[in-house]
Amino acid sequence: MNAPQNNSQPSYLEQSPEVRERFQRIYDRETILEVRQLSKRYQTPQGETEALRGIDFKVHRREFVCVIGPSGCGKSTLIRILAGLDKHSDGDVLLDGKPVNGPGRDRGMVFQGYSLFPWLTVKENVMFGPEMSGHTRNTADNQARQWLDLVGLSKFADSYPHQLSGGMRQRVAIARALVNEPRILLMDEPFGALDAQTRAKMQHHLLDIWKNLDITILFITHDLDEAVYLADRILVLKPHPGEVQEIIEVPVPRPRTPAQFDSPVFRATKARIEALIHPPVESGEDEENNPEAGPMIRFTNVTDNVE
């Protein structure tokens, strides 16, 4: 399963003309987010840990970028720095060419855990952003309704978060982030806590939203299928310290459908990431990583059968 692919299988590097053209169009667009030589060191009682080292990448307007890597490789650290929730030690984070300094409305964030305000109704949760930016309650109300409509939750506008299912809560969280019309939407394993079926639906739903809006997405996951299914490009991180191993241009054409999970390009891309994340040799690290990889593969087969 971890065998290096140098045989006649299509390489993940081979792109159809349409795909290549698509990437050209993406790179022609303006840069929304630029990360230059970013590092992060944590001071701990055991000494200094280097969570991120020399991270370099750009995200273009309306691009969908996934960040993947084993747990503990610094994915959350990276996205929290981009969101302005943590400070970086070295390097630059530029949004539209301007350095990021603290959290801001120009970067929306969706967390893995339920981050909805439990004391507010669904609609009031979505109204929070507009109200904070000084809109009147009336305007905020209108905007919230519009975005709830977009995520298909108008019927639940007056429910409290605890009355919703996990998938619905994350849809509210997405609406709440998008209502501020951020330049980029940062998502930290947003579907990680959902069951496979809900997760598949949410992935589809997210692609729908992304298609219909002028929004750029940086999406963190540790699920290979999720990354390949969603992304234009995938940033593969390796742990200790967190470094970019490779930035992969996903050769799977759009529009994406679950049927593509079985296509040769999809599998080739997945195999490449698999090889990067779980290198075939190093036995010491394998012990740690294998139990995680096992159930993940079964997971996706289940998804395939369902859809």
Partner 1 sequence: MSALTLWLNAPQRRRALLTVGSFLLPILVWCLVSYLPFVWHPQVLIDEPGGVDYFQTGMRVDRSDFADQLADMAQQGLPLPSGSPANPIYLPAPHEVAKAFYSGFTSPPEQKNAPWLHESLWHSIQIIFWGFVISSIVGVPLGILAGSYASLGRLSEPFIEFFRYLPAPAFGALAVAVLGIYDGPKIAIIVIGTFFQQVLIIANTTRKLEATLIEAARTLGSRGWRLIARVVVPGILPNLYQDQRILLGWAWTYLIVAELIGTSSGITWYITQQARYQHFDNVYAAIIIIGIIGFGSDLLLARLGRKLFPWNTGREKG
Ligand X SMILES: Nc1ncnc2c1ncn2[C@@H]1O[C@H](COP(=O)(O)OP(=O)(O)O)[C@@H](O)[C@H]1O
Q: What are the residues binding ligand X (CB under 6 A)?
A: 42, 44, 49, 51, 69, 71-77
Helix (H) or strand (E) holding 42: strand 31-44
Return the one option of partner 1, Mg ion, ligand X, none that residue 123 interacts with (CB less than 5 to 8 A, by type): none
Return the one option of ligand X, partner 1, Mg ion, none that residue 216 interacts with (CB less than 5 to 8 A, by type): none
Task: Show the CA angle centred on residue 156, arms to residues 152 and 157, nearest 5°.
Answer: 95
Q: Does 195 bind partner 1 (CB under 8 A)?
A: no
Q: Which 68-87 positions form the footprint of partner 1 (CB under 8 A)? A: 83-85
Binding part of the chain for partner 1, among 29-37, 117-125, 189-197, 245-253 by CB under 8 A, reads 117-125
The residue whose Cβ lies closest to ligand X is: 76
Least Cα distance to 306 among 187, 172, 203, 166 occurs for 203
Cβ count within 10 A of residue 114: 16
Which residue's CB is nearer to ligand X, number 67 or number 127?
Answer: 67
Q: Does 125 bind Mg ion (CB under 5 A)?
A: no
Minimum CB–partner distance for residue 204 and Mg ion (Å): 23
- What is the C-alpha separation between 164 and 121, in angstroms, rounded? 11
Cβ count within 10 A of residue 306: 11
Contact predicate 245/237, CB 8 Å: yes
Q: Does 91 bind partner 1 (CB under 8 A)?
A: no
Q: Is 210 left (phi over 0), alpha (psi -120 to 50) or beta?
A: alpha
> Strand 47-60's sheet: what is its strand order?
47-60, 31-44, 90-95, 98-99
7 contact partners, CB below 8 Å, separation of at least 6: none
Instruction: Determine the residue type at 14.
Output: E
Minimum CB–partner distance for residue 85 and ligand X (Å): 11
Binding part of the chain for partner 1, among 54-62, 127-135, 227-235, 254-262 by CB under 8 A, reads 127-135
Minimum CB–partner distance for residue 73 and Mg ion (Å): 9
- What is the C-alpha separation between 164 and 160, in angstroms, rounded? 7
Binding part of the chain for partner 1, among 35-43, 100-108, 143-151, 257-265 by CB under 8 A, reads 100-108
Which residue's CB is nearer to ligand X, number 37 or number 71?
Answer: 71
Binding part of the chain for partner 1, among 158-166, 214-222, 234-242, 282-290 by CB under 8 A, reads 158-166
Q: Does 190 bind partner 1 (CB under 8 A)?
A: no
Return the one option of partner 1, Mg ion, ligand X, none that residue 303 interacts with (CB less than 5 to 8 A, by type): none
Cβ count within 10 A of residue 208: 14
Strands 47-60 and 243-249, bridge-based pairing: unpaired
End-to-end CA separation in angstroms for the chain? 25
Q: Does 162 bind partner 1 (CB under 8 A)?
A: yes
Q: Does 128 bind partner 1 (CB under 8 A)?
A: yes
Task: Show the CA angle centred on residue 152, arms to residues 146 and 158, nearest 5°.
Answer: 75
- Which positions touch partner 1 (CB under 8 A)? 83-85, 102-105, 107-109, 111, 113-120, 128-129, 132-133, 160-163, 173, 176-177, 180
Binding site for Mg ion (CB under 5 A): 76
